[in-house]
Structure 1
Amino acid sequence: MIMSSTQKHNSTAIYSTAEIREIERLAAALPSPPLLMEKAGLAAAEVARDKLLTHGRTRVLVLAGPGNNGGDAFAVARHLRSWRYEVTLVFTGQRATLSDDAKQMLDAWLVSGGEILLDIPENTAWDALIDGLFGIGLDPRSGRDLTDQYLALIDTVNSMKLPVLALDVPSGLGSDTGKVRGAAIKAAMTVTFIGLKAGLLTHHGPDYSGEIFLRELDLDVPSLHEPSSWTIDQAYVQKIMPLPRPADSHKGMFGSIGIIGGSAGMIGAVLLAGTAALKLGAGRIYLGLIAGNALGVDTAQPELMLRPINELFKLDNLNCLIAGPGLGTGPDACFWLSCALESELPLVLDADALNLLASHSRIANLLQDRKASSILTPHPAEAARLLSSDISMVQGDRMSAAADLAERFNCCVVLKGAGSICAMPGGKRYINTSGNPGLSSAGTGDILSGMTGAFLTQGLSPENSLLLSVYLHGAAADILQTLHGGPVGMTASEIPDAARNLLNQWIYNF
């Protein structure tokens, strides 16, 4: 969950480390420049007081690092001490190497009567901990690695089992990437300054950040730097949902989808995609089965119209295509995927369609040359194949990987995973805030492609179809996690019903 101190600005904007540095530079050049470090320290101290130091907790261990994050920590410690909390401060840097602002915060701490320790004292107990070691100063792309000293310190902190408030970004976590540099402090909550950071929201970030509190420090952030990345949340998707249906609706008003897949032994995948499209509002769903035994398939959804694959392409009432669920990678799959790419219909590509794109340059060229819109839905391994890379490189910078795919193939892209990233051809990127590990089960990707096709065929733009389906897919999984008491054993076939219920609630305010 992300909590903002203000709704005046777009609090869902995400900024890179470089952009935050530029905003700080521009803020310092204002006619009356704000004292950002002092404001950050006070804002974090208020979060600590109101959210962390509850239920009688009064003893606080504050860790101040060698950079500006340490300056924030000095300010937090001073405010907490002035409010009569018992504060122990450990400083891991040297005063001579601090910035002028951080030196000012250190001196103010000392003037207030605070003391500085160089190591965590033994045989002392605390109720909570403030992490001010690195913040955004240790982003992986900065080239800085954790030394053995800090690896040991972070392991010590995590072993203490204290509730932790991290300042800006949990130490050891890349602010742009969510990648852990050997070790990272596991926070119960993070107060982040000026703007959200991608590393808090994707890859390992959700496991380390806890509840996120955004404090913009009284800056009009978008006026200083226009964002190009945002989060996807319920407030956002409720602006882009389909309109309520008129009383005289009929199925022809809500489009027809053709789904290409269902090779031998994989017909279940295309049935999942079709069921999801049906339950998220598409008017007609035709399943084109490569296996060729359409009449012999037993489906619990008789509304799905099964066709041999060659008959699917003879239909003249289709509004979009989905290719990939259970498609296979044989010659027939290549032929029918090429037919889909040569069509003038909007197209959702998933699963084996992505593997064929990665292994056949002719098919990739067809995608790149398409005039109609296309949407790619890779998981990290599929993205690595498409980028001629490897999974570690993709996961090491998920934001860049998603953007590279969108640019390379001129498509809307969702890079699935923790904090799924949607990237658009024009450069806009979004990080999803819904979902849980229950989605790491067979068939959930087929459900997502069916949902995306359903919104496309109902007239939503490719961008909005992708954003709505990704968020709703995760939100449905969150509902199921609550119902099941956890994510273990969640199945793909449960998601369409939960997603349908949520969508109706949002549209009709039930």
Structure 2
Amino acid sequence: MRNYSTAVYTTAEIREIEQLAAALPGPPALMEKAGLAAAEVARDRLLIYGRTRVLVLAGPGNNGGDAFAAARHLQAWWFKVTLVFTGQRSTLSSDAQRMLDAWLTAGGKIFSGIPENEKWDMVIDGLFGIGLDHHEGRELAGQYLALVNTVNRMNLPVLALDIPSGLGSDSGQVRGAAIRAAMTVTFIGLKPGLVTHQGPEYCGEILLDDLDLNTLSLREPASWIMDQLLAQTLLPPPRSASSHKGTYGSVGIIGGSTGMMGAALLAGTAALKLGAGRVYLGLIAGKALEVDTTQPELMLRPVHEIFKLDQLSCLVVGPGLGMRPDARFWLSSALESTLPLVLDADALNLIATHSSVANLLRKRKAPSTLTPHPAEAARLLNMDISAIQNDRMAAAANLAKKFNCCAVLKGGGSICAVSGGKRYINTSGNPGLSSAGTGDVLSGIVGALLAQGVSSENALLLAVYLHGAAADILLKQQGGPVGMTASEISNTARNLLNQWVYSPEIH
């Protein structure tokens, strides 16, 4: 799958690549290349508007070295550059010292703070980059907090080097405050913090420059971007004219306790509209609902009848399940089955609450898929929500490892963790998904793909991207995210899946 997607590297992996590159024959000059790449981006954007004045912020680490090099190139191209250096030469790395000396040799000046009563057309942020996690305290404070807040108040386009200062490179977590960039030119490889949690709100347009390194040969990545190109390699095949409903499998959904039947109906409708041949709803509320008149194709059953069906391809457990003892019993029964499972909502809470249920999950031989949001993940891992959000990449991987399953940690830049420690960061979706029932719809989509023969890992990846892509289409159609409903996601995802499968550009 990595051949169809863009690799993502943690800070530690980037440092390893840098060390390996330094050992290659010939001078790697990565800092010089990074500075030139940043300067070229700044130059091209400034020339569009005929602007010339640039404020460059250089921090105390290697990100500051990149900024020195960028400033020198811009000045050589006759841009008016003001450079603010917040560190000390003696504490810089040897490479960064050379960049500072080259700036001074070229006639550049250094300011210790932003000059008053001057105006600029662009700001280049070279304060921290990926080095923030090694900065004392790891939270911006003092002069750095003041600098970031001042830049954000300037209302100027900001070009961030590697990652906006104040944003965790691995987590996407804002450390007290962060630069709001219009563009981020990132070096060597993409970082998780650019594309998950709060990262997309701060990075603006992301430009990748690999600095002429073959990163895949230097370091095998464990994480990739989940984008449309990858999603379209995971699609079920076009349907045969001789097929029938049994060809596309049967999904069983267990949930729908009293007062929460809507969740099970949403999941069932999504499974039906995304291609499952048959969908059975095992309602814990019994016969409180004989038929769903808005979706009569759904076959409603008391929950115990679901386990008597021989034709099921998979089970989705959790939408509207509740936390009562009978819900725990039916979840345990599902975990003891040999069917692929999708576990969501209260199924996850029951697993987190009862160790015996968790042990059933860990011992399963058939595929299992977990779909927690951060609060559910915190319960499953016995952690605070803040700890989950501070390292979403690790949390997703820990879920998959602890429970012997595939898992998606939902949220901005949802992270899918699959076998072998592989992780995929989703790039689709928007705040319109922050409404009731959208998680139930996602579970139904995963179930539908499983029923059609898509593998457990691929079903999760495709469903997560498709779910978000449907929300992105609705965002454009509705002019914003407010009021987007889960029911709309199913219809739009169905249309999108049909377009992808039957588009002549793909097949």
With structure 2 as the length reference, what TM-score do the two structures score? 0.97
1:318 maps to 312
1:464 corresponds to 2:458:
yes
- Say whether the 8 Å CA contact 2:292–2:298 is kept in structure 1: no
Show CA shifts across 1:458-507 (max 9, x none): 11111100000000100100000011111111111000111111111111
Structure 1 segments of 4+ aligned residues over 2 angstroms from their partners: 8-11, 49-54, 139-147, 294-299
1:14 corresponds to 2:8:
yes
- Say whether the 8 Å CA contact 1:269–1:325 is kept in structure 2: yes
Instruction: Kindly state the Cα deviation for residue 140 of structure 1 after the two structures are TM-superposed.
Output: 7.0
User: Which of 94, 97, 100 matches 1:103?
Assistant: 97
Quote the Cα distance in structure 2 between the aligned partners of 1:410 and 1:264.
31
User: Which of 382, 389, 393 matches 1:395?
Assistant: 389
Quote the Cα distance in structure 2 between the aligned partners of 1:285 and 1:142.
55
Q: 1:143 to 1:249 in 2, by over 3 A?
A: farther
Quote the Cα distance in structure 1 between the aligned partners of 2:348 and 2:282.
18
Show CA shifts across 1:326-385 (max 9, x none): 001101101111111111000000001001001111111110111100000000000000
User: Which of 76, 80, 87 matches 1:86?
Assistant: 80
User: Which of 470, 478, 482 matches 1:476?
Assistant: 470
1:416 corresponds to 2:400:
no
- Say whether the 8 Å CA contact 1:52–1:165 is kept in structure 2: no
- Say whether the 8 Å CA contact 1:27–1:33 is kept in structure 2: no
Instruction: Kindly state the Cα deviation for residue 11 of structure 1 after the two structures are TM-superposed.
Output: 6.4
Q: Secondary structure at the match of 1:87?
A: strand
Instruction: Kindly state the Cα deviation for residue 141 of structure 1 after the two structures are TM-superposed.
Output: 9.3
Q: Secondary structure at the match of 1:282?
A: coil
1:383 maps to 377
1:305 maps to 299
Tell me whether 444-453 or 135-144 shows the greater mean CA deviation: 135-144
Tell me whether 395-404 or 50-59 shows the greater mean CA deviation: 50-59
User: Which of 428, 431, 434 matches 1:434?
Assistant: 428
Quote the Cα distance in structure 1 between the aligned partners of 2:50 and 2:278.
60
1:254 maps to 248
Show CA shifts across 1:181-205 (max 9, x none): 1111111111100011011111111
User: Which of 387, 399, 403 matches 1:405?
Assistant: 399
2:163 maps to 169
Show CA shifts across 1:124-153 (max 9, x none): 111111000000100279853323111111
1:230 maps to 224
- Say whether the 8 Å CA contact 2:129–2:164 is kept in structure 1: yes
RMSD: 1.5
Q: Which letter does structure 1 place at the counterpart of 2:138?
A: R
Quote the Cα distance in structure 1 between the aligned partners of 2:55 and 2:351.
53
Quote the Cα distance in structure 1 between the aligned partners of 2:12 and 2:33.
20
User: Which of 195, 202, 206 matches 1:201?
Assistant: 195
Q: Secondary structure at the match of 1:296?
A: coil
1:192 corresponds to 2:186:
yes
1:4 maps to none
1:5 maps to none
Paired residues for 1:31-430 under 5 Å? 31-51=25-45, 54-139=48-133, 144-293=138-287, 295-430=289-424
Q: 1:52 to 1:447 in 2, by over 3 A?
A: farther
- Listed as ranges, the gaps of 5+ residues in structure 1 are 1-7
Quote the Cα distance in structure 1 between the aligned partners of 2:32 and 2:117.
32
- Say whether the 8 Å CA contact 1:140–1:174 is kept in structure 2: no
Q: Secondary structure at the match of 1:170?
A: coil
Instruction: Kindly state the Cα deviation for residue 308 of structure 1 after the two structures are TM-superposed.
Output: 0.9
Quote the Cα distance in structure 1 between the aligned partners of 2:443 and 2:372.
10
Q: Which letter does structure 1 place at the counterpart of 2:40?
A: E
Show CA shifts across 1:57-82 (max 9, x none): 22111101111100100111111122
Quote the Cα distance in structure 2 between the aligned partners of 1:170 and 1:327.
42
- Say whether the 8 Å CA contact 1:53–1:128 is kept in structure 2: no
Q: Secondary structure at the match of 2:221?
A: coil
Instruction: Kindly state the Cα deviation for residue 51 of structure 1 after the two structures are TM-superposed.
Output: 3.7
Show CA shifts across 1:193-225 (max 9, x none): 001101111111111111111110000001000
Q: Which letter does structure 1 place at the counterpart of 2:213?
A: L
Q: 1:99 to 1:441 in 2, by over 3 A?
A: same
**Identity in percent:** 74
- Say whether the 8 Å CA contact 2:269–2:295 is kept in structure 1: yes
Show CA shifts across 1:35-73 (max 9, x none): 100111111112222346532222111101111100100
In the comparison of the two structures, how many residue pairs are matched?
503
Q: Secondary structure at the match of 1:300?
A: coil
Quote the Cα distance in structure 2 between the aligned partners of 1:162 and 1:343.
59
Q: 1:307 to 1:52 in 2, by over 3 A?
A: farther
With structure 1 as the length reference, what TM-score do the two structures score? 0.96
Quote the Cα distance in structure 2 between the aligned partners of 1:140 and 1:359.
36
